[in-house]
């Protein structure tokens, strides 16, 4: 009789043990299925001076498949080019504001910027009789030295221009860029220097420069925004070999 009771007790304990193991395993499955993997998202800009890249959703870490709103804002003298990431999908990789679908991994999204290239300018002569006298005293310093001068009259106006050379067009980068050239009255008179230049028209050509003769001042034209990414320039008269090369110049005033 005792043997029968022991057998029943062992059978009961075995049944309870199996039941508990099953419960534990089931609970583990439920627990694993309840944990959702999330992944970190980092934003960066290239170059760092070019602008900022922002996660507008602001919910990192994200689950796989989450859509994230991202935005790139360029700094002065730069413009946005494109987005890149080692994985994931962009709604539009060339739009500064777009969406990004998260993959199953931590990653960094990079906004790429490029510097706004300089423009070519076409200068127009100003009517001397109607240009007012300025009379401002300035000190101007460049690689040739320091100059004390009086700003006298506006003599030329610089307009950004689309240039075509050897069938290769160079478009206008920023239509708000303009210059006004002011004639200088120098203390001590003009000087001369020899310089060697390289550009698309001439290589290793020695020029004689005399001056400075004028100051180029960044200028806001009517119905345009304030120009950015422009400096002041001292203008020198230059003498050198004849170039005799053809270019087509197209701006708001004329096409040649």
pLDDT per residue rounded down to tens, the chain (256 residues): 444 444 455 554 455 444 444 444 444 444 445 689 999 999 999 999 999 999 999 999 999 999 999 999 999 899 999 999 999 999 999 999 999 999 999 999 999 999 999 999 999 999 988 999 999 999 999 999 999 999 999 999 999 999 999 999 999 999 999 999 999 999 999 999 999 999 999 999 999 999 999 999 999 999 999 998 999 999 999 999 999 999 999 998 886 6
Cα(174)–Cα(228) distance, integer angstroms: 9
**What is the tens place of the pLDDT at every residue in 211-232?**
999 999 999 999 999 998 999 9
Residue 15 gets the label, from left (phi > 0), alpha (psi -120 to 50) or beta, of alpha
159, 253 contact by CB (below 8 A): yes
Six-digit token pair at 194?
Answer: 């020899």
- The CA–CA distances, whole Å, from 23 to 12, 16, 17 equal 16, 10, 10
Indicate the average pLDDT of the chain: 89
Residue with tokens 């950015």: 228
Q: Rg for the chain (alpha carbons), in Å? A: 35
Q: Which residues contact 53 (CB under 8 A, 6 or more apart)?
A: 43, 44, 45, 70, 71, 72, 109, 110, 111
């Amino acid at each position: 009789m005792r043997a029968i009771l022991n057998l029943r007790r062992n059978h009961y304990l075995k049944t309870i043990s199996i039941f508990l193991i099953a419960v534990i395993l089931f609970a583990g499955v439920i627990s694993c299925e309840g944990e959702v993997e999330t992944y970190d998202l980092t934003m960066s800009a290239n170059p760092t001076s070019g602008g900022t890249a922002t996660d507008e959703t602001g919910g990192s870490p994200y689950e796989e498949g989450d859509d994230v709103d991202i935005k790139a804002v360029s700094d002065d003298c730069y413009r946005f080019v494109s987005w890149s990431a080692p994985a994931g999908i962009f709604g539009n990789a060339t739009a500064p504001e777009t969406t990004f679908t998260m993959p199953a991994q931590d990653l960094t999204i990079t906004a790429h910027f490029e510097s706004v290239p300089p423009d070519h300018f076409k200068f127009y002569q100003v009517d001397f009789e109607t240009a007012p006298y300025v009379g401002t005293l300035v000190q101007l310093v460049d690689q040739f030295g320091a100059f004390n001068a009086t700003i006298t009259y506006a003599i030329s106006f610089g307009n950004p221009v689309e240039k075509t050379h050897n069938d290769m067009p160079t478009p206008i980068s920023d239509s708000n860029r303009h210059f006004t050239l002011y004639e200088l009255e120098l203390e001590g008179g003009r000087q001369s220097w020899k310089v060697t230049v390289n550009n698309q028209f001439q290589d290793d050509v020695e020029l004689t420069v005399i001056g400075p003769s004028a100051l180029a001042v960044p200028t806001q034209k009517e119905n345009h925004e304030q120009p950015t990414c422009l400096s002041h320039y001292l203008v020198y008269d230059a003498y050198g070999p004849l170039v005799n090369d053809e270019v087509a110049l197209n701006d708001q005033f004329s096409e040649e």
